Structure 1
Amino acid sequence: MIVQEQRTARHWDLAYRHGTVFEQVTDAEQQMFATFVRTIREAQDMRVGCRAVDIGCGTGEWTRALAAMGIDVRGFDFSAVALSKARKLSLGARSDRQPSYELWDVNTDPIPTSLVPGTIDIVTCRLSLSYLDVARFLTDVRRWLAPEGVLHVVTKVAEKQPEPPEMGPYVLPHRGLDERQLKALCQGWRSVDGYKLDPQGETTALVLQHPVDASFP
């Protein structure tokens, strides 16, 4: 099932307050990310810091996974409840680096001063891009990325979603992108790579690098 309507910060605050969680990050997902995102390997080889931002971070599970890989990462979300939980969970995480978090509605608020153009190595959207104003977001990402920077997107594929089981009021189905939107998302980048996170291809990842001028329909 794919959610069609947008949801407000108030909705997400209520959902997270009642224990809503999204899919857990697996070891296999982290390994595939490290394999396909070249910036990480290059930064590790050169023993220099790698700076990332996680957009729509929720309670910070993916943000903490990035920190555990040795990445300096800041998570952004527009749910204050989610970020409060993310900060508490991050305090107990086993990592040399601690992620930071910032409240931000990416669709409507001014861009935070921490997102300096040309300084971000990796921008990640894990199951969050389809909730954003994609055209506006891609324009901003192109400005934020460093010369070798990468946009990494994990999303549900609309056409491949199974019928969901009966769900309670605070168990949220995912919103996803359809095949046409995925194809459009890959336009405007000189380097495009991707991989499936499950055998059926219900969840896919895209690795986009070296942007050129393009628009998202």
Structure 2
Amino acid sequence: MNMAAPAPHHRCPPPDSPALRAQHGNQVATSTKTPPQAPGTARQRLLPALPTAADWDRHWRTGQGRLVTALEQDRFLRRVRPQPGTTALDIGCGTGKWTRNLASWGLSVTGFDFSSEALRQAQAFPHPRVEFRHWDFDDRATRLPGLPRGGLHLVTCRLSLEYLDTRQLLAHVARWLHPHGAFYALTRVADSDHAAVTAPPFTRMLRPAQLDAVLTHPLWRSAYHATVPPFTAIVLRSPCPADLPLRPR
């Protein structure tokens, strides 16, 4: 088992600080890594197409659920320390196994997915503290209904981060969370861009540069990650009290 060292603690300047605006606005330009290219470039055309909702419906009908291991549960509880009685949101909940785990630890949870078939299976196992809803986060994250700013204590995203616009999503999650809230993700990370491009559509992986961008996102005070191949767990804590517009990728 390979446990990665915790990422360095990040401190946020005040919301109106020129330093934060400079960091935020010039993040791509000042990076030492190859900057992401605009949509339509040769690099993006090499990436495999994302599965559609209909593709996911067919996938879930095969009965291939997402395994939740005892090891992951133990590490999540020790690292994140979710508090009973608080509220959580589970992004890309699939058939709801992880969502129901959160509820069993005393949280009130809403699970979101854009596959109708996944939600049908999830709703077959009701729980008094769980609600499942249909939503496409990548397209409509800014218009999530009934979600007050700062109203959540925990947001989780298991094996779905690699299908989303991570930079925009993390900015939205930072606004949704309580100042002491946490974001937890489980994802696959490729060891090279080539491995990410050639991964099967339902086991998509983040590129190494994408993982680095998640861990250094400017709106979070601290970041931690640990790897137990083939998965990497990510915990971001305490979003910064800033509401700056993000440049499109």
Is TM-score (shorter-chain normalized) higher than 0.5?
Answer: yes
Residue 179 of structure 1: aligned partner: 208
Other structure's SS at 1:108 match:
helix
**Partner SS, residue 176 of structure 1:** coil
Larger mean Cα displacement after TM superposition, 53-62 or 128-137: 128-137
Match of 1:94 in 2: none
Q: Percent identity?
A: 39
2:215 corresponds to which letter in structure 1? Answer: C
Distance 1:13 1:181 in 2: 27
CA distance in 2, matches of 1:118, 1:182: 25
The equivalent position to 1:193 in structure 2, one of 212, 224, 230, is 224
1:17-46 deviations in whole A, cap 9, x for unaligned? 232323x101221111011014x1xx35xx
> Cα offset for 1:195?
2.0
Q: 94, 117, 123: which is aligned to 2:149?
A: 117
Give the TM-score normalised by the residue count of structure 1. Answer: 0.79
Which has the bigger relative contact order, CA under 8 A and spacing at least 6? 2
In 1: Cα distance, 2:48 partner to 2:174 partner: 27
What is the rounded CA distance, in whole Å, between the counterparts of 2:55 and 2:147 in structure 1? 26
| Aligned partner letter, 2:226 | Y
Task: State the shift of 1:173 in Å.
Answer: 4.0
Q: TM-score, structure 2 length as denominator?
A: 0.69
Q: How many residues align?
A: 190
Mark the runs of 5 or more structure 2 residues left unpaired by the alignment.
1-46
| Structure 2 partner of 1:29 | 72
Compute the RMSD of aligned alpha carbons.
2.3
Distance 1:33 1:16 in 2: 25
Task: Give the partner amino acid of 2:207.
Answer: D
Counterpart in 1 of 2:36? none
Deviations 1:58-91 (A, max 9, x none): 1011111111111111100001110010010345
Cα deviations across residues 173-196 of structure 1 (Å, max 9, x unaligned)?
411112211111011221112222
Q: Is the 8 A contact 1:20 1:172 kept in 2?
A: no
Amino acid at match of 1:106: F
Map 1:3-152; keep pairs closer than 5 Å: 4-22=48-66, 24-38=67-81, 40=82, 43-44=83-84, 49-90=85-126, 97-109=128-140, 111-152=143-184
Deviation digits for residues 124-180 of structure 1, max 9, x if unmatched?
0101011112222112111100010101111001118xx9xxxxxxx9641111221
Secondary structure class of the residue paired with 1:124:
strand
Return 5+ residue gaps in structure 1 as ranges: 92-96, 164-170
Mapped to 2, the partners of 1:150 and 1:27 lie a distance apart of: 21
The residue aligned with 2:13 is none
Contact 2:87 2:108 in 1 (8 A): yes
Counterpart code for 2:232: T
SS of residue in 2 equivalent to 1:158: coil
Give me the whole-angstrom Cα distance separating, in 1, the residues matched to 2:234 and 2:70: 18
**In the TM superposition, what whole-angstrom CA distance separates every residue of 1:87-118 from its partner, at most 9, and x where no partner exists?**
10345xxxxx5311000011123633232210
Shift of 1:13: 1.2
Q: Which has the larger radius of gyration?
A: 2
